[in-house]
Amino acid sequence: MSLLPILRYPDSRLKTMASPVVNIDEKIKRLVKDMAETMYEAPGIGLAATQVNVHKQVIVIDVSEARDQLLVLINPELVECDGSQIGEEGCLSVPGIYDKVERAEHVVVRYLDLDGVTRTIDAHGLLAVCLQHEMDHLKGKVFVDHLSILKQTRIKAKLAKQARITA
């Protein structure tokens, strides 16, 4: 396994729409392993393939305290959502930035697992937020896109300044 480089906002590649996975082969299984290692090392609770510049509909998530309940979603599809919650979000592609985002409180997502079996997950709270956040990445959106233009401009400026300092 190897750690993958995570794209940083406002990298235009984060706007790329991910295409469905047609065949769950060894290449996809390797991608999932590398994404999981990258997510755990970062550390984060979710990572979409788009964030590592692979534009396939693949997500890894682990919201467990022990970090031992990896959820792999291939070709995830939002089947149902209801309710509303506002919570502070962050993103591995937008390091050090957190802001409040409104999301559905409850979601049902259909997806394929690593064996190609169709599964459904019924999620509330943090897992529901994480699913929506990561599925946004597959559509070329980052959580910053849910914020005002003013906040987006400030975040871009702050990240540009950080990049200059670390360069």
Kindly report the pTM of this predicted structure. 0.95
pLDDT at 1: 55
pLDDT at 166: 77
pLDDT at 163: 81
Name residues of the chain where pLDDT drops below 50: none
Spell out a b/e string for 71-83, using b for 16 or more CB atoms within 10 Å of the CB, else e.
Answer: bbbbbbeeeebee
Q: For the segment 71-99, what is each residue's pLDDT rounded down to a tens digit? A: 999 999 999 999 999 999 999 999 999 99
Structure tokens given for 166: 């670390």
The DSSP secondary structure of the chain, one letter per residue, reads ----PPP-TT-GGGGPPPBPPS---HHHHHHHHHHHHHHHHTT-SEEEGGGGT--BSEEEE---TTS---EEEEEEEEEEEE--EEEEEEETTEEEEEEEEEE-SEEEEEEE-TTS-EEEEEEEHHHHHHHHHHHHHHTT--GGGGS-HHHHHHHHHHHHHHHHHH-
pLDDT at 77: 98
Domains defined along the chain, listed by start: 12-166 (3.90.45.10)
Active-site annotation holds for 134: yes
